[in-house]
Structure 1
Amino acid sequence: MRYMATYDLMETFRNTNQWLGASALSLASYPVFAMVPNPALQWMAAWGEVTERTFQRMVTKPDWGIHSFTCEDGKDHLVNIETVVEGDFGDLIHFQVMGRDTKPRKVLLVAPMSGHYATLLRSTVISLLPDCEVYITDWHNARDIPVSAGKFDIEDYTLYLVDYMRHLGPDTHVIAVCQPAPLTLAATAYLAGEEPEAQPRSLTLIGGPIDPDATPTDVTDFGNRVTMGQLEETMIQRVGFKYKGVGRMVYPGLLQLASFMSMNGERHSKAFSDQIQRVMKGEASDHDAHNRFYDEYLAVMDMTAEFYLSTVERIFKNCEIAKNEFTIEGKHVDIGKITTVAVKTVEGANDDISAPGQCVAALDLCTGLPDEKKASHVEPGAGHYGIFAGKSWRNNIRPLVLEFIDANAGPKPGGGAKKKTPTAQKSGKSPAQKAAK
């Protein structure tokens, strides 16, 4: 109960600050106060507006905001975001451009589940839409998943990816960004051993901790410094009474956000004080640079406790992927069995989260893969965010990834006939999970 009380206390604190912001904005905005111009009232209204928006965004799932798209014919085509595979802990969604012929490149983007929603890859999706049929993993917020849905650890996560790859078919090209890179590699190896015909054509791993010890960072140092008991005691709480997942053990999004903010506290404080000044002067807008960034940055989601703890223990502490010792339901997943899937790694030279050397380690693990199907790229001057969503991605990395996809496209299924979009599938547990039981 003490964990549940702590969770509700954090939510109460957030809710109270949202209410204080709204109250300050309403009070300071009374028309009668305009008769006596007072900078203090203007500041109070600006503070209230920024504060209300800030604390409200913490529990709001961002919208994709991709409504239409200009195609090669010069016309705007509507984008329909459809769910093709449903699951308790995540969905597979497709960005269907209406009225456009199906693109030959079918791309599965594996989004991180490390505190933020899949919308963190919004700009990545937009950059790929002109040339690809884009699918992405849309992980659910653990606070909204009833306890009756069961557990969700890194083995379950991997089996979800197996199910998505199997559903999309062997003409798929997978791009994993950051946290899911090790588990996406494991999912590919799982298919290589269990169902080789369902393997994707290519696998691109971007800034992921395949071997966290290859180049230590603050993230890996933290994982090695604390014990699992300390993590469980200080980071894990039970979802409070407000949400559907009441009673579920989670690593709360608000606690993660506090950690994120504390790493660059001075910079964030200045950003918010500057925004208050801009609101006072009438220079701010609903979609200005500050709001665009923080609307996404502040929107955090809870992770299941078993996923968070098993990630730290098995990926960072025990390095099961790096040592090729990862297992699912006690069965070894041998990365060396990948023999036909082309693998490319992408790293940022200035990445302080997954430093150069951590991701490229995947190529050494693919002992059964010929050298001509391996590739790597280190982007000069790029940080972690830049290698999948920034200028480095748009100008340099994206073209290289598309070239890699084309070079490993292989023969089109069915002699080049147009392939229909996969039909929607609904399930609780992933079929791959059920098969592994």
Structure 2
Amino acid sequence: MKYMATYDLMETARNTNQWLGASARAMAAYPIWGMMPNPVFNLIDAWGRVTERSFARMVEKPDWGIQAVVGSEGRDHTVQCQTELKRPFGDLVHFRVQGRPTMPRKVLLVAPMSGHYATLLRTTVASLLPDCELYVTDWHNARDIPVSAGKFDIEDYTLYLVEFMRHLGPDTNVIAVCQPVPLALAATAYLAQEEPEAQPRSLILIGGPVDPDAAPSDVTDFGRRVTMGQLEQLAIQRVGFKYAGVGRLVYPGLLQLASFISMNSDRHGQAFFDQIMRTAKGEAAEHDKHNRFYDEYLAVMDMTAEFYLSTVERIFKNREIGRNAFSIAGRPVDIGKITTVAVKVVEGAEDDISAPGQCLAALDLLTGLPESKKAAHLEPGAGHYGIFAGRSWRNNIRPLVLDFIDANSGDAAAARGSKSRIRLASAQGAET
């Protein structure tokens, strides 16, 4: 089958490197080497440990790793990740905090489907949990979904968001990060047309390509240069025999990872060299900074071919959201129909993926929304990752987001308790 052999070849190469790392560790651990101490054995062991761990992570879904959250009374509450709605291509999960009253802020955090799992937003989730009743979209790896489950493109993605919003109710506050920003906007407009009473209360759009032409970047330039036929030939393969989705056309996670690393190959190469040396000297730890970052960065997932190709063609090339020309099953979705949902746009001044202006374009499309319900924030010095994780998110953006939710909720109790819980969560985040 077309490109199935290539998919299996990539998996074979990954598996071989994982095996080589494990073999190097085993060889360096032979007791006989203790009779002739030599630093080369420490280096072999260190190379094996780093190599085995790195290649093993590429096919493992990371755990959320959020065990407890501190309540307003100062004591720990255990956290359970429960599936609220289960669907073939993605679930709606609820982070239920045991022993804590239901929080007045109900938040749906829409995670990107762009090569990494929803756990990429782990720190975002952890920072919102003290103040919110939190729900997250947990997208599935396409390689694990049988062909019999059918297709999944950007229209299907949008309808999933519509279903999740409808299920959670009109008191929901939606936060979309990166890739899903234009589709979350479209899903809200779809509800405004079809079921106005099911619209969310507020919509926060963080660093997404609503109109890629508003501020061209390397990402948008690539989308312009490559034709759809070239892209299909370069990026699309069929899932091999090892996984349940055998035969499904996908954009493989391993191929995406190769692209990610090639963009900053010198920096990644130096990071792994330094980690090998630290491991050889006994200075590395299981959960040190390197492992925390690369355990997540290397864990990649396949996207369905139709989702990837329709994103490039309809969002980047044709600018269907940016031109307010998006449709679902041939039915136009008019963003101007949004008239009651408060919308806030957040961008990073140093964002080189969704450059400043691409997300801000959403406010111009909201022709039916009063100016009093629109807001925007440009975070100085923040790159793409920084606007939803790290110091910029924790200290500046997150408090603004919660204040925006409160200002449009009419819930005085939530607003009164906001400041103290923000300070508590920010202090906890600074410790980590």
TM-score, structure 1 length as denominator? 0.94
Q: Which residue is equivalent to 1:13? A: 13
Amino acid at match of 1:215: A
| 1:410 Cα deviation after fit | 3.5
Q: Aligned equivalents of 2:35 and 2:337: distance in 1?
A: 76
Query: What is the number of residues matched between the two proteins?
Result: 412
Contact 1:18 1:51 in 2 (8 A): yes
Q: Aligned equivalents of 1:188 and 1:69: distance in 2?
A: 31
Identity %: 77
Q: Which residue is equivalent to 1:65? A: 65
Contact 1:211 1:319 in 2 (8 A): yes
Q: Which residue is equivalent to 2:173? A: 173
| 1:411 Cα deviation after fit | 6.4
1:12-411 to structure 2, matched below 5 A, reads: 12-410=12-410
| 1:34 Cα deviation after fit | 1.5
Q: Aligned equivalents of 1:31 and 1:162: distance in 2?
A: 60
Q: Aligned equivalents of 1:353 and 1:404: distance in 2?
A: 25
CA RMSD of aligned residues (A): 0.8
Q: Aligned equivalents of 2:206 and 2:14: distance in 1?
A: 34
Q: Aligned equivalents of 2:278 and 2:184: distance in 1?
A: 43
Contact 1:202 1:341 in 2 (8 A): yes
Listed one character per residue, the Cα deviations across residues 131-176 of structure 1 (whole Å, up to 9, x for unaligned) are 1001000000000000000000000000000000000000000000
Amino acid at match of 1:52: E
Q: Aligned equivalents of 1:226 and 1:312: distance in 2?
A: 10
Contact 1:216 1:355 in 2 (8 A): yes
TM-score, structure 2 length as denominator? 0.95
What secondary structure, in the 3-state scheme, does the structure 2 residue paired with 1:300 have?
A: coil
Q: Aligned equivalents of 2:383 and 2:147: distance in 1?
A: 38
Residue range with higher mean Cα deviation, 67-76 or 177-186: 67-76
Q: Aligned equivalents of 1:300 and 1:411: distance in 2?
A: 40
| 1:87 Cα deviation after fit | 0.1
| 1:2 Cα deviation after fit | 3.8
| 1:42 Cα deviation after fit | 1.1
Contact 1:342 1:373 in 2 (8 A): yes
Gaps of 5+ in 1: 413-437
What secondary structure, in the 3-state scheme, does the structure 1 residue paired with 2:214 have?
A: coil
Q: Aligned equivalents of 2:251 and 2:299: distance in 1?
A: 15
Listed one character per residue, the Cα deviations across residues 224-274 of structure 1 (whole Å, up to 9, x for unaligned) are 110000000110000000000000000000000000000000000000000
Q: Aligned equivalents of 1:68 and 1:189: distance in 2?
A: 36
Q: Aligned equivalents of 1:385 and 1:361: distance in 2?
A: 20
Amino acid at match of 1:210: V
Gaps of 5+ in 2: 413-432
Amino acid at match of 2:285: S
Off by >2 Å, runs of 4+ in structure 1: none
Contact 1:176 1:205 in 2 (8 A): yes
What secondary structure, in the 3-state scheme, does the structure 2 residue paired with 1:213 have?
A: helix
Q: Aligned equivalents of 1:12 and 1:279: distance in 2?
A: 27
| 1:40 Cα deviation after fit | 1.4
Amino acid at match of 2:365: L
What secondary structure, in the 3-state scheme, does the structure 1 residue paired with 2:393 have?
A: helix
Contact 1:91 1:139 in 2 (8 A): yes
Q: Aligned equivalents of 2:411 and 2:331: distance in 1?
A: 33
What secondary structure, in the 3-state scheme, does the structure 1 residue paired with 2:64 have?
A: coil
Q: Aligned equivalents of 1:162 and 1:2: distance in 2?
A: 34
Amino acid at match of 2:21: G
Q: Aligned equivalents of 1:68 and 1:404: distance in 2?
A: 26
Q: Aligned equivalents of 1:213 and 1:108: distance in 2?
A: 28
| 1:68 Cα deviation after fit | 1.3
Contact 1:105 1:131 in 2 (8 A): yes
Q: Aligned equivalents of 1:73 and 1:114: distance in 2?
A: 38
Contact 1:109 1:136 in 2 (8 A): yes
